[in-house]
Structure 1
């Protein structure tokens, strides 16, 4: 087994996953019947990170993988990072229901192949449908508070 950057990053992720798992297991128990409490999702997430990182460490490569990114791919990654920062600011100012469809609409333009033409109305329907589906899951099913933004308060 040859050690490379992927395995180093995976080892760090195992360590982070274990620390996160310890923190998740120290969360308080719930007193409600049939309520899994606050531990369930963090524990599941930590276990997924640990197991996937271990699988990367144990993977045998025919040859050393090379991560070769084009200038265009680095540009898109930078734009996505900027878009994520803009989304965080928009969440703080406008809240979830306004920010999410806007960011989904913009990102749908970024990830659509130049050769594929998608009508604007289809993109808008997709962004709105996904936003309201996520809102329903988090706000109604999981009963979580979503950001309302400074403007809506």
Structure 2
């Protein structure tokens, strides 16, 4: 059997009737389906019959995440704790939480920060101040050097 995949679609001759064109199209479609089915059968390694074409069943599409989606859909419509005299909704604390959400990790006791001495902070600030002074001095020296070159 030869594949019609790479053949150019011939423009039907004007003398070909509508019924002949329909018959030719149906025959070509059947050839393509036969090729497809034979390829599927060749690739299939199991002895199980190939699934038939049909609408998927709802049971085939269930996952463990579906319950979470249902809970989120329920939370999308907030519950109200009533309405105030002004016509505004009353808030009910924690009434609209999504059930089954990821629980917060248990709070582990953070190790205490070591005490920072005043001397250490003073030394750090002095280092920062010296770095700023050096940087400004370098910029000033570079700008003076450029001016001397321009004038000289």
TM-score range, shorter chain: under 0.3
Q: Which has the larger radius of gyration?
A: 2
Return the structure number with greater helix share.
1
Could you tell me the TM-score, scaled by structure 1's length? 0.20
**TM-score, normalising length from structure 2?**
0.20
The structure, 1 or 2, with the larger RCO (C-alpha pairs under 8 Å, 6+ apart) is 1
